[in-house]
């Protein structure tokens, strides 16, 4: 579940060697894992290995040697000269006794499969010159492609395309995945990702202390709320969702119903007077209460059982929403801020951040899409060409003292302490109107059950994606809450929960 940055992976290799694992043995195991993947993907036909001048190329030489020993017709195309290779890569090249072809597109021929061992995860500059031409030729070849560690041209830390990148059929990485395997657009270039065990002891993670995690149930299982047999609805918390005016009530109702489905014991929609009738007519299990002003809201929130608030969906941009947000942040409760609640502070974000910093317990979650993020964190948005989504989320969380969730097909959740999760289970049909409102409500439902903010946001993101996956094409936002019971049942089975 841990995702290692390029620097952390380098550290893992070094720690493994320090623990007594020979570095060339690591390379041999990596190359053999690549060879096994290539053999499985293309059991017959010619294979070309495109090798670079570093350890990635060394892995490629080992793979070529292994495949030739299996009787496959293999050739290696090397970027650079053999005598320029150093260390383990040079040792791997010396074991190769097959064809060594010039670094030119013509050398590819028409293979069944190409092994991309040109550049590794640590690429930090744009690909130009002959390597760029070679990558373009690989992509145009029509061959199956197995990438070593990451497709050449993809940044391991950001998932960015460094000018041009290989489009792999399968990627074989080692020990742990990198953020670039999950973040877009890198994920789109990886194909199926296989993680090979090459003998790095898991104990190295105790030294590295990685803070980036793949958002999967395995890591948040300990925080997943499971109702007790002797429990009651008040024990599962009471979430309050703020509604906008009469013509803007749908988003709040989507969020409220999602909060209830996500497990909150009670949910109330706090509604202005003109929207009371429409909200009451459309809601059954969700309660409705008239809240006109921030003073009304403050009085209502004096009830300590109201332990989670969701503000923003359909709330309207302006002073009223801003005052409601500041009121919600004045007490020790979980607060989810989305959409209009974020845009209402676009001109004075520090006011919001100061309120979050002074909130008792500081359990705030901000859920912007990219446009809302740019309005609220303008200094970071201006750097989106140099900062990855993961980096921007982390910096925003630190600046705001809140958990920050940047939505998308690679949703990132970041905490002020540097922890972050990346999800990859969102299907394309989740990009539909109102889906974000449902997600806000689900986070509110988790906060109501006293799940810490970082875990609450991560759990809700994964379940949101899983509900959309289960429903399939044709999904609209109203469908998501109805699929959540199936998601819960699957999780209970996975966690072996007996109710």
CA dihedral angle for residue 166, residue 168, residue 174, residue 176, rounded to 10 degrees: 90
Q: Find how far residue 32's CA is from the centre of its chain.
A: 29
What's the token pair of residue 484? 């959540």
Burial profile 433-462: b = 16 or more Cβ within 10 angstroms, e = fewer:
ebbbbbbbbbbbbbbbbbbbbbbbbbbbbb
Contacts of 471 (CB under 8 A, 6+ apart): 429, 479, 480, 483
The phi, psi pair for 479, rounded to 5°, reads: -75, -25
DSSP codes, 75-141? EEEESS-GGG--HHHHHHHHT--S-EE-SSGGGG-S-SEEEEES--TT--S---HHHHHHHHHHHHS
**Helix, strand, coil share (%) of the chain residues, nearest 5:** 45, 15, 40
| Apex 243 CA angle, 242 and 244, nearest 5 | 130
Known binding-site positions for AMP: 407-411, 436
Known binding-site positions for K(+): 56, 116, 152
Q: Scanning the structure block, which residue is given the tokens 């590794």?
A: 120
| Apex 425 CA angle, 487 and 122, nearest 5 | 150
Known binding-site positions for (6S)-NADPHX: 55-59, 120-126, 149, 251, 314, 369, 437
Known binding-site positions: 55-59, 116, 120-126, 149, 152, 251, 314, 369, 407-411, 436-437
Calpha distance 75→385 (Å, rounded): 38
CB 88 within 8 A of CB 118: no
Question: Is residue 185 classed as helix, strand or coil in its secondary structure?
Answer: coil
């Amino acid at each position: 579940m841990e995702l290692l940055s390029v620097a952390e992976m380098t550290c893992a290799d070094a720690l493994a060697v320090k623990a007594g694992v020979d570095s060339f043995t690591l390379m041999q195991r990596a190359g053999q894992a690549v060879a096994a993947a290539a053999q499985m993907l293309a059991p017959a036909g010619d294979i070309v290995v495109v090798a670079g001048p570093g350890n990635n190329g060394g892995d490629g030489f080992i793979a070529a040697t292994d495949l030739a020993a299996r009787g496959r017709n293999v050739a290696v195309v090397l970027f650079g000269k053999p005598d320029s290779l150093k260390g383990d890569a040079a040792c791997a090249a010396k074991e190769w006794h097959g064809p060594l072809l010039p670094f030119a597109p013509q050398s590819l021929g028409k293979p069944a499969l190409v092994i991309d061992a040109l550049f590794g995860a640590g690429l930090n500059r744009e690909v130009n010159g002959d390597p760029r031409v070679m990558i373009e030729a690989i992509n145009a070849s029509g061959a199956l492609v197995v990438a070593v560690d990451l497709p050449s041209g993809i940044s391991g830390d950001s998932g960015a395309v460094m000018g041009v990148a290989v489009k792999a059929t399968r990627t074989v990485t080692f020990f742990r995945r990198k953020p670039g395997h999950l973040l877009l657009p890198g994920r789109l270039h990886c194909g199926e990702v296989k993680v090979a065990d090459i003998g790095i002891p898991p104990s190295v993670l105790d030294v590295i202390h990685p803070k980036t995690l793949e958002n999967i149930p395995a890591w948040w299982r300990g925080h997943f709320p499971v109702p007790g047999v002797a429990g009651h609805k008040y024990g599962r918390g009471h979430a309050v969702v703020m509604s906008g005016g009469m013509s803007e009530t749908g988003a709040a109702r989507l969020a409220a119903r999602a909060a209830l489905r996500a497990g909150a014991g009670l949910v109330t929609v706090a509604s202005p007077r003109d929207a009371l009738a429409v909200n009451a007519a459309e809601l059954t299990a969700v309660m409705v209460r008239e809240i006109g002003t921030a003073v009304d809201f403050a009085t209502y929130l004096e009830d300590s059982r109201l332990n989670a608030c969701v503000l923003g969906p359909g709330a309207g941009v302006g002073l009223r929403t801003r005052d409601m947000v500041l009121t919600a942040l004045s007490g020790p409760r979980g607060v989810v801020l989305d959409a209009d609640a974020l845009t209402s502070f676009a001109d004075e974000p520090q006011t919001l951040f100061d309120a979050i910093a002074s909130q008792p317990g500081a359990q705030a979650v901000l859920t912007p899409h990219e446009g809302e993020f740019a309005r609220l964190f303008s200094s970071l948005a201006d750097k989106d060409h140099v900062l990855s989504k993961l980096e921007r989320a982390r910096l925003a969380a630190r600046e705001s003292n809140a958990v920050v969730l940047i939505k998308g097909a690679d949703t990132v959740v970041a905490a002020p302490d540097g922890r972050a999760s990346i999800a990859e289970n969102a299907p394309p049909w989740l990009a539909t109107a109102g889906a974000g409102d449902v997600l806000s409500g689900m986070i509110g439902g988790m906060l109501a059950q006293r799940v810490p903010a970082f875990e609450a946001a991560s759990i809700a993101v994964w379940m949101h994606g899983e509900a959309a996956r289960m429903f399939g094409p044709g999904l609209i936002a109203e469908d998501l809450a109805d699929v959540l019971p199936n998601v819960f049942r699957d999780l209970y089975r996975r966690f072996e929960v007996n109710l």
